[in-house]
Amino acid sequence: MQYRELKVPGAWEFTPRQFGDDRGVFLEWFKEPGFSELTGRTLELQQANCSVSAAGVLRGVHYADVPPGQAKYVTCVTGAVLDVAVDLRVGSPTYGVWDAVLLDDVDRRAIFLTEGLGHAFLSLEDDSTVVYLCSTGYAPEREHGVHPLDPEIGIDWPKTGRDGNPLSFQLSAKDSDAPSLATALADGILPSFADGPTAG
């Protein structure tokens, strides 16, 4: 397994070693103890999610109250998505910074996001299937979002899909109505860096 720390502290990219033959491919997309040795923590599994998206579907930027927050370990088993981590932690040295990883069925990378980070992805192909392991279960009262097209964050979303055709962004009503980063900050609903696992 190869790894790379992203520009956002607490976010990592994992590239597995793949073993292929005429039958197909085998890989380990998550493995202990390597994960804990690298990140300095374990990933307690409370929920596993699967999301299937048409080309152009844009989900996020989602985050949960900290504590307890929700850490995620994400991969794309079919298709391709641009997966983005955004530092939404007030007081973080990299507050407002984002970084991205291409998750697809070729390199089969994964991305880990610690508690307090925002998560979003754009589907680059029809039926792109994303699965992710979560450290806590879904709790609507603790879930929030920031608008993924907020120019203050300035995520450089692809304009074309995997096949080279133009993408038309599709957002849920909830994501379309999400506040800007500045509004979320003013409303006091962003996580605090001091409360997260990477503080100090």
Among all residues, which ones are annotated catalytic? 62, 132
For residues 132 and 60, is the Cβ–Cβ distance under 8 A? Answer: no
Spatial strand order in the sheet of 2-5:
2-5, 11-15, 110-113, 72-78, 128-134, 47-53
For residues 80 and 129, is the Cβ–Cβ distance under 8 A? Answer: no
3-state class (DSSP) for residue 186:
helix
Residue bearing tokens 């599994």: 45
Q: Which two tokens stand for residue 148?
A: 């993924």
